[in-house]
Amino acid sequence: RFSNLRDRLTYLVTVNDGMITLPGGIGTLSEMALAWSLLQVSEIAPRPLVLLGQMWQDTVSAFVQPEYVQERHMRLLRCVLTPVEAVETLHQLRLT
């Protein structure tokens, strides 16, 4: 469907009303980081970005230092532990 990874990633993170990032590897990390970056610089309209699983909490917490990631940029993410929490959070954030 897409001729290259860049086009696929762009489509994935822009054509949605909200995102849930599942546990995954390097590709999933790339998708999440791109979405977060585009939200950070307001290149895409504000939308929920929900990270599912302890691995994302651990990964993101490694960057939570004032010289790397500001608190206001952390607020662009919501970390949850269960699929039910992820869906509920997505719905709640879309309603606000």
At 39-58, the pLDDT tens digits run: 999 999 999 999 999 999 99
Q: What is the mean pLDDT of residues 1-29?
A: 95
Expressed as residue numbers, the domain containing 34 is 5-95
Answer whether residue 38 shows pLDDT above 90: yes
The enclosing domain of 40 has a CATH number of 3.40.50.450
Average pLDDT, the chain: 93
> Is residue 75 within 8 Å of 60, Cβ to Cβ?
no
* pTM for the model: 0.90
Cα separation, 65 vs 28, in Å, equals 23
Q: How many domains does the chain have?
A: 1
